[in-house]
Structure 1
Amino acid sequence: MKKRKIPMRKDIVTGEMMPKRQLIRVVRNKENEVSLDPTGKKPGRGAYVAVDVKIAEQAKKERTFDKAFNVTLDDEFYDELIKYADHAQARQKLFGND
């Protein structure tokens, strides 16, 4: 059986290359609205952060997405990111990284 290529993306917080499935995509659209993209198909400029609560908290502390997207985001967005990362991390432990 032929081995499939695994798409890799860079975590914006740590700078580490990881498989795309282990990352959360955050997207900024043309109206400068920033949102989480669980499907990975929303149009706009995307950035990735690891599915790890500690890294999501580090992104909040450093205001990483404010700098990456050149916008000002409120703490609500980062809290939503941390909550989503926690959920996704628990899901990966339960079902694996598939």
Structure 2
Amino acid sequence: MNTPPSKDALREFLASKFAEAVEQNPDAVVLYAAERAPDPKRYVKRPTVQEVAFKRELEKMRDDQADKAAPESATSVSPAIRTNQLSLDDYPGLVLPGKHNEF
């Protein structure tokens, strides 16, 4: 029975065959320049599950506040009418008596 050749014997055989092939056709072996290693990507921190949930809750709270504020502004009722009190803000041309000097 034939025993398989050892690894060293195979290496020597393949090296001799390669040397013969290069002697017969020197253009068979082409050397290429090494490619430049790609630039590493910047590290971008991905948000954790807790951070995403926190942002969602903040957005819900903001939406709820916007929904609550929208009906008040939509009615556009003067603050004086809502509280049944008059204020100077309701009449932009009026000033307090002590602050008005014409002369």
TM-score over 0.5 for the pair: no
Relative contact order higher in (CA < 8 Å, ≥ 6 apart): 1
Pick the structure with greater CA Rg. 2
Normalising by the smaller structure, the TM-score range is: under 0.3
TM-score, normalising length: structure 2: 0.21
More strand per residue: 1 or 2? 1
- The structure with the largest helix share of the pair is 2
